[in-house]
Chains A and B, each alone.
Chain A
Amino acid sequence: MSVAAADAYVEAELTERRHGFRTRWYRTPAFVAGVTIVGTILLLAILAPQIAPYDPTKQDLQNILADPSSKHWLGTDQLGRDVWSRMLFAARVDLRVGFLAVLLPFLIGTTLGALAGYYGRYGDTIISRVAEVVVAFPFYVLVIAMVFVLGPGTRNIYLAVTMVGWVSYMRIIRGEVLVQKRQEYTLAAQAAGLSNPRIIVRHLLPNVITQAIVFAMSDIVLDILLIVTLGYLGLGIQPPTPDWGTMIADGQTFLTVKWQLSTIPGVAVVITGLGLSLIGDGLADLLRPE
């Protein structure tokens, strides 16, 4: 093969392989569907103050438990509050808490996992044993117990979720780092005289972080479910702040007469969860190394 031919070959290969994430994402149906769903809900949540027809906390006791009408699209609840407005504002709260509740466990778990996986020895033993103790308890029981002790409220939800949630990220990253540090490129980086922190941050993390990101997507779903569950149990977001979980719990009393009060927020939770799971699946497909 002449040099020119070899060059042309490499050239062709280069342009073909370049069709990476940027040009491939819209051909992954799961990812597109997920982004559409979550994007729509996010947009509605962000624009809630503009598009909500009523104040979500304003009571109208003359007009309680109204059926859906042109005035109140989804009807009103037991205190005469507009359900559509409450749905929009609840989305703001639940999505924000869901995303934020994933952020801290993600950062802490990833850091600890990378350290435990790379350095091994005592640090690894300690981190892994603590993680085992944490996972030995059922997730919900532990979080509910902690929120019960710490008291309800968003800050304590973050705290409780972080104390339990870091374990999954730590295990994912630790396992991946254990595999990657045996790869020759890690040895090559060491042989090039790079420091360990630099090898972890610049070489190992970019190779392992996708797994944690994909997991984070489904973890947001779990956290939203958790907040909704806590809200249902009265341990979550405190009234009058609207939240899907509290709405489901409140509507329960009227399930036989006004089934939509519980069902509408329930469906919203399911759709959001579906959207985030689809993004997670799509990302896993897109980011999977060749």
Chain B
Amino acid sequence: MSAPILDVRDLRVELPLSRGTVHAVDGASIQVEAGEAFGLVGESGCGKSMTLRAIMGLLPRPGHIVGGEVLFEGEDLVTASPRRLRDVRGGLIAMIFQEPMTALNPVMRVGDQIAEAPQVHLGLSRTAARERALDLMRRVGIPDPVRRARAYPHELSGGLRQRIMIAIALSCDPKLILCDEPTTALDVTIQDQILKLLLNLRREFGVSVVFVTHDLAVVAETCERLAVMYAGQIVETGTVDEVFREPRHPYTLGLLRSVPDFDSVQDSLSAIQGAPPDLVLPPPGCRFHPRCPFAQDDCISGEFPLRPLSVGRATACIHSDACAADVARRPVVAADA
């Protein structure tokens, strides 16, 4: 394996609020290989979006990075100058947002919005940038791009808007695209089209993609590897195949069991008990222990770093056997899947 294109090491993000400091990301590490599709999974408020924004250096105030490194092609973005960061953003790392309606400027023609970044980053002339915008619109499957380029965002459907967002993300040939819940706001049929488009473009442009989502189906369809995040920490990593078939962390297991799936062998949905912890005062020990069905006495205190299980596979759970035993009793994914 070559050096990862994105190597986030022990990232810590804090938000000092009046009621206390929120430890939004608490020692998260992820590695994304060149050309790979990587999934970052977790429920709302687990710190996955914060991780993305920390990578881009665009944390909402008063959030800030208190520790760790974000290595992009070996360069630490945490200590990079604002000028360098502006070059990296859009030029090398692009971002796709959840709500294409709000993430597009409502009073600017979409063609101009696609053409803007190439003018800034690639130094293209207005005309050349417009040509490029039309070409990109064609490549993301927008019919009649010449006319659509003159439309305002509210004149387009949700699916078309998200295609525009993708065209903007691709506009400067980035090496990495961060997708923040790219399909959550779309209806299912459009979701599928957009995901397929992203996958095709990934091959065509040779770009790495990070999907941040709470939707396991999206990850299953698109990603090779994933990391599961809980309460600001990564609790399990591995290939999608392995993690879905044999989860080794009770939180992952809970997530998989709570997905409604008509083909699956499971006959009832089981929601994870309790609510996600307050990140101002997270529970001591393993952060999942208050909700964990397999919790033991030794889960209540101490540190729970990721420990490797095999090559490229790690879990933070010290009782991962319990998880394995449970899966053996009741498989999560249908045997023929």
Q: Is the CB of B107 within 8 A of A193?
A: no
A206 to B91, CA, bound (A): 25
B105 at the interface (CB under 8 A from A): yes
B102 and A185 form a contact (CB under 8 A) = yes
- The winner among A13, A191, A194 for most chain B CB atoms within 10 A is A191
Give min CB distance, B137 to chain A, whole Å: 14
- Whether, in the assembled complex, B155 has its beta carbon less than 8 Å from a beta carbon of chain A, the answer is yes
Q: Are B143 and A7 neighbours in the complex by a CB distance under 8 Å?
A: yes
Over the window 176-214 of chain A, the binary record of Cβ atoms lying under 8 Å from chain B Cβ atoms (1 yes, 0 no) is 000000011101111111110010001100110000000
| Interchain nearest-CB distance for B63 vs A (Å) | 13
B151 and A192 contact, CB distance less than 8 A: no
Check if B104 is an interface residue, CB within 8 A of chain A: yes
A193 in contact with B88 given A184-B97, A289-B106 (CB within 8 Å)? yes
Q: Interface readout for B95-113 with A: 1 if CB under 8 Å, 0 if not? A: 1011100111111100000
Apart from A194-B90, A202-B116, what are 19 other A-B pairs with CB-CB below 8 Å? A3-B143, A9-B157, A14-B151, A14-B156, A17-B155, A184-B103, A188-B104, A191-B89, A191-B94, A191-B95, A192-B168, A193-B87, A193-B121, A195-B86, A198-B120, A203-B108, A206-B107, A289-B106, A289-B107
Number of interface residues of B (CB under 8 A): 37
Q: Which A-B residue pairs are the 8 nearest by beta carbons?
A: A193-B90, A193-B89, A192-B90, A191-B95, A184-B102, A184-B103, A188-B103, A193-B86
Which residues from B are CB-within-8-Å of A183? Answer: 102
Assess whether A193 is in contact with B154, with CB atoms less than 8 Å apart: no
A169 to chain B, nearest CB (A): 19
Q: Report yes or no: A188 in contact with B157, Cβ–Cβ below 8 A.
A: no
The answer to the question of B212 belonging to the interface, with a C-beta cut-off of 8 Å to chain A, is no
A191 to B168, CA, bound (A): 11
Minimum Cβ distance to chain B for residue A123 (Å): 15
Decide: A10 and B157 in contact? CB cutoff 8 A.
yes
A18 beta carbon closer than 8 Å to chain B: yes
**How far is the CB of A205 from the nearest CB of chain B, in Å?**
10
- In the complex, the answer to whether A187 meets B58 with C-beta atoms within 8 Å is yes
Q: B56 contacts which chain A residues (CB < 8 A)? A: 191
Q: Which residues of A contact B (CB under 8 A)?
A: 3, 6-7, 9-10, 13-14, 17-18, 183-185, 187-195, 198, 202-203, 206-207, 289-290
Given A10-B156, A14-B155, A202-B116, A189 and B86 touching (CB < 8 A)? no
Give which listed residue, A187, A192, A290, contacts B117 with CB less than 8 A. Answer: A192
Q: Judging by beta carbons under 8 Å apart, are A193 and B97 in contact?
A: no
Q: Which residue in chain B gives the minimum CB-CB distance to A18? A: B155
Determine the residue in chain B with the shortest Cβ distance to A205. Answer: B107
B71 to chain A, nearest CB (A): 19
Q: State whether the Cβ of B160 lies closer than 8 Å to any Cβ in chain A.
A: yes
Q: How far is A13 from B161 in the complex, measured between Cα atoms in Å? A: 14
Give residues 50-99 of B contacting A (CB, 8 Å): 56, 58, 85-91, 94-95, 97-99
Measured between beta carbons, the chain B residues less than 8 angstroms from A185 are 102-106
| A214–chain B nearest beta-carbon distance, Å | 15
Contact of A190 among B89, B107, B108 (CB under 8 A): B89
Q: Are A206 and B116 neighbours in the complex by a CB distance under 8 Å?
A: no
Residues of B within 8 A of A189 (CB): 105
Flag B127-167 by CB within 8 Å of A: 1 or 0 each.
Answer: 00000000000000001100100011011110010000100
Residues of A within 8 A of B99 (CB): 184
Contact with B116, one of A10, A194, A207 (Cβ below 8 angstroms): A194
Q: Please, which residue of chain A has its CB at the minimum distance from the CB of B171?
A: A192
User: In the complex, how many angstroms separate the beta carbon of A289 from the nearest chain B beta carbon?
Assistant: 7
With a cutoff of 8 Å between Cβ atoms, the chain A residues found around residue B97 in the complex are 184, 187-188
CB-defined contacts of A191 to chain B, threshold 8 Å? 56, 58, 89-90, 94-95
Measured CB to CB, the closest approach of chain B to A14, in angstroms, equals 5
Interface contact A207-B157, CB-CB below 8 Å = no
Interface pair A13/B155, CB less than 8 Å apart = yes
B106 touches A207 (CB 8 A): yes
Q: How far is the CA of A15 from the CA of B222 in the complex (A)?
A: 36
Q: List 14 A-B contacts (CB under 8 A).
A: A7-B143, A13-B155, A13-B157, A183-B102, A184-B97, A184-B99, A184-B102, A187-B58, A187-B97, A192-B90, A192-B94, A203-B108, A206-B105, A206-B107
A206 touches B108 (CB 8 A): yes
Question: How far is B160's CA from A120's CA once the two chains are assembled, in angstroms?
Answer: 35
Q: A290 to B102, alpha carbons, bound, how many Å? A: 13
Chain B residue nearest to A185 (CB atoms) is B105
**Which residue of B is nearest A208, CB measured?**
B107
- Residues of chain B lying within 8 A (CB to CB) of residue A9: 157
B-chain residues with CB within 8 Å of residue A207 when the two chains form the complex:
105-107
Inter-chain CA distance A199–B278, complex, in Å, is 35
Residues of B contacting A202 in the complex (Cβ-Cβ under 8 angstroms): 108, 116
Bound complex: CA A10 to CA B105 (Å): 19
For residue B58, which residue of chain A has the nearest CB?
A190
Query: Whole-angstrom distance from the CB of A260 to the nearest CB of chain B?
Result: 49
Chain B residue numbers with a CB within 8 Å of A184 are 97-99, 102-103
Q: Which of B87, B98, B99, B143 counts the most chain A CB atoms within 10 A?
A: B143
- Min CB distance, B176 to chain A, in Å? 12
Contacts of B155 in A (CB 8 A): 13-14, 17-18
Report the minimal beta-carbon distance from A150 to chain B, rounded to whole angstroms.
40
Taking the closest CB of chain B, its distance from the CB of A39, in whole angstroms, is 27
Complex alpha-carbon distance, A37 and B90, angstroms = 50
Chain A residues closer than 8 Å to B168, beta-carbon distance: 188, 192
Q: How far is the CA of A248 from the CA of B229 in the complex (A)?
A: 76
Q: Give A205 to B91 CA distance when docked, in angstroms.
A: 24
With both chains docked as a complex, state the minimum distance between the C-beta of A9 and any C-beta of chain B, in angstroms: 8
In the bound assembly, the distance between CA atoms of A177 and B106 in angstroms comes to 14
Report the Cα distance A67→B102, complex, angstroms.
65
